[in-house]
Amino acid sequence: MSIYNFEVKKPNGETISLSDYKGKALLIVNTASKCRFTPQFQDLQKLYEKYRDNKFEILGFPCNQFGEQEPGSNEEAVAFCQLNYGVTFPIFSKIEVNGSNAHPLFQYLKKEAPFRGFDETNPTAKILKLMLLDKAPEWLAGDEIKWNFTKFLIDQNGNVVRRYEPNEEPVDLEKDIAELLASQMQNH
C-alpha cells in the first residue's frame, strides 16, 4: 500500500490517481483560506518554485473542518490561493480529513505518520494545543489531524516519510525536503 492507491478530485470534479505523481517527492497539506496559518501558502509556494524542477510537488487539499475556515466553493478556495499567494501548485477539491467522512488518503496518512505530540517549547504549538483543548478537544485525541496546514512528506515511491504539525513552518521543512531529493538523485 502507498499513496498511489488513492484517487482525488480536482476542483472541476475530475478524478485523478495519485499514481500520476510516481517518481516525485510530495508534500501533502490540508489547507484553509481563513486560518492564522494561511500565510504558510507563501513559503509553500517558495519551496515549490525552488524544488519543482527536482521532481517535487506540493498537493493542497482545502478543508472546512477546523473553525469553518474554508467556507467557500472549490473554485473560491483555488482562486484565493492563486490571487493572494500566487500559488501554482495543485489545489484539489475540498475534503474532510477527520471523522467518519475523512478522505481515505488522509486516513492512510494518519495511520502511516501518527501524531508525535506538540513541541511545547514552541509558543505557536502551545497556543494551538490550548485552543484545541478549549474549542475542539476531540481533535487532540490519537492521530487525528489537529488543524489546517498539517503537512506530510512523501518519498518518490509513495511512502510517508514524516508528518509536520500546523505550527511547523514550511521553511523548517526545507532541510528534510532537500535531503529526500538528494537521496532520490543518488538512487537513480
Catalytic positions, written as ranges:
35
Closest CA to 44 of 10, 79, 13, 84: 84
Q: List Cβ neighbours of 61 (8 Å cut-off, separation of 6 or more).
A: 8, 28, 29, 30, 31, 91, 92, 93, 94, 95, 97, 103, 105, 106
Q: Which three cell numbers stand for residue 26?
A: 510530495
What DSSP designation does 94 have? -
